[in-house]
Structure 1
């Protein structure tokens, strides 16, 4: 092999090495960008959910009832509300020294397109004070009507009381109950009705502790 050919091979090999190095560096950089994006997106989603929860609290129970609602937290058993988080708080609505109601987070895993997260307000007499959907992935134009920004369907629960865990009326009309379903979408409202029922069950099982006012900073 001539010296010229050797030099060409060395040059070619060097080019390949540089190219491979460049590709490797690009792959590492791309992986880093993706990882940072995923973390940032996850953090943003979590922040959006927290913001939605904050708005929901005073939409369910107006601030003039308990302006310190954010401070009146009570620790909940996450698994009983279908939640996976390690620490889950509910909120006591306190007027003077009396707990007027509570707001409980709850999750349905029965949505058409995934989990549906809710905040459910329950008055001391077990009636529903209000419901807000915190996050969902339901079909636009169909299942997304559970979002109060899309329709007032969730307001149909206000004032309703479930008469025991076997109350057949606590269901969508297609299942013999009292709540409307959506045209072309029954799974989503059925999931929400069930999740609210889960919150009611939790309230009934923990009524004494939930309605006992705790001394907390204001």
Structure 2
């Protein structure tokens, strides 16, 4: 009996010791990675040269400027001046999170922009995408599209070959990762243009395609305001497809509904679809706007047509909307002919918005 107890004690001791060793190793590896990232983000030398060729060291930006940006841009992390070996200012390194999440979570980039408004270098500080797929945004074939371009435009991700200077071709099968990476660069461009570009005309907009979003998504509203930060943080941590939540107000400054921005929970024919879903205070769908879509033009993109989207109007958070070939029940919508997969993907985005309303706003 004593031998059995001894063996049990030794076994437990060994298991505990091994587990503790693994945990310590894991913690050390994590700590090393964090230290590496922080060093890359805060020191000059090679990193300065990566961001702007010829860069030799960093110099701090005035505290007042940093504090102002932090108070006005919630994705901004830090900014530094980049100097050459003689102390001449070459440009700025702007550190920022992406404004839209990647497939695996947040992204953070260090973006180098020269004094003559050229994007000169990029360095990923936080990247949690699928290895060999989403992580391909780090490949020169993708991020090289930004290098040398003027920091006076907002970039758009497309699935085809670029036609405009601002077009960026997405990584194949990694549109969400491409969009997130690009949104971080767009935020860095906005920060540069607003706070560091002495020749700025102030003509940049925060996001293409958001014109008249208030009346499109929530009819009768004249402004959208971001929901409480704590609420957005909670939803973000619990719903991986959620992007943003805004409150809609009318001319009398009365709350009349919500605009919920979300990715589809089901993949379309090519990729996920991002949709703004407008809901009134009763949780009924009152408006829809596609923000990101990579479906076949004229087929899958027909989910943007009014005759398809209007089927959702009036449906509410008590329903789980079902896409079927021919709708016959109040909780069903008819799919687009020849584009069932796209229709199912779009519907899953609307259902996710309804679930968010039910779980957090009802």
**SS at 1:40 equivalent:** helix
Equivalent position of 1:5 in the other structure: none
Q: Following the alignment from structure 1 to structure 2, what is the Cα–Cα distance between the partners of residues 43 and 133? A: 18
Structure 1 residue 100 corresponds to structure 2 residue 90: yes
Relative to the length of structure 2, the TM-score reads: 0.43
How much does 1:44 deviate? 2.5
Q: Which residue of 1 aligns with 2:80?
A: 91
TM-score (norm 1): 0.66
| 1:19 matches 2:25 | no
Paired residues, number: 182
- Which one of the candidate residues 115, 136, 151 is aligned to 2:106? 115
**Among 60, 64, 67, which residue is 1:73 paired with?**
60
User: 1:118–1:134: 8 Å Cα contact kept in structure 2?
Assistant: yes
State the Cα deviation string for residues 75-127 of structure 1 (Å, max 9, x = none).
646684637xxxx6532023667633101122236112233232101223443
> Counterparts of 1:40 and 1:19 in 2: how far apart (Å)?
31
Change (3 A) 1:141 1:34: closer
Alpha-carbon distance between aligned partners in 2 of 1:97 and 1:36, rounded to the nearest angstrom: 43
Q: Contact between 2:134 and 2:174, CA under 8 Å: does it hold in 1?
A: yes
TM-fit CA distance, 1:187: 1.0
Partner secondary structure for residue 203 of structure 1: helix
Show structure 2 runs of 5+ residues with no match.
198-362
Instruction: Map 1:50-199 onto structure 2 (within 5 A).
Output: 50=38, 55-63=46-54, 66-67=55-56, 69-70=57-58, 72-74=59-61, 76=66, 80=73, 82=75, 89-94=78-83, 99-108=89-98, 110-147=101-138, 150-157=139-146, 158-163=148-153, 167=154, 170-174=155-159, 178-199=167-188
Q: Which structure is richer in relative contact order (CA contacts within 8 A, separation 6 or more)?
A: 1
Runs of 4+ in 1 over 6 A off after TM superposition: none
Structure 1 residues 89, 191: closer, same or farther in 2, change over 3 A? closer
Distance apart, 1:136 and its partner CA: 2.1
Query: What is the distance in 1 between the residues matched to 2:142 and 2:79?
Result: 23
Q: Distance in 2 between matches of 1:179 and 1:93?
A: 26
Secondary structure of residue in 1 paired with 2:93: strand
List per-residue Cα deviations over 1:169-204 (Å, max 9, x = no partner): x21125996111122221111111101111122333
Tell me which residue corresponds to 2:258: none
Q: Distance in 1 between matches of 2:31 and 2:190?
A: 32
Q: Secondary structure at the match of 2:167?
A: coil
Say if 1:140 and 1:45 are closer, same or farther in 2 by CA, change over 3 A: same
Structure 1 residue ranges without an equivalent (≥5) = 1-11, 209-218
Asked if 1 retains the 8 angstrom alpha-carbon contact of 2:48 and 2:82, the reply is: no
Q: Which residue number in structure 2 is paired with residue 211 of structure 1?
A: none
Structure 2 Cα separation of the partners of residues 127 and 159 of structure 1: 6
Structure 1 residues 99-108 or 174-183, which shifts more? 174-183
Q: Does the 8 A contact of 2:142 with 2:170 survive in 1?
A: no
Greater shift in the superposed pair: 179-188 or 126-135: 126-135
Of residues 25, 28, 47 in structure 2, which corresponds to 1:40? 28
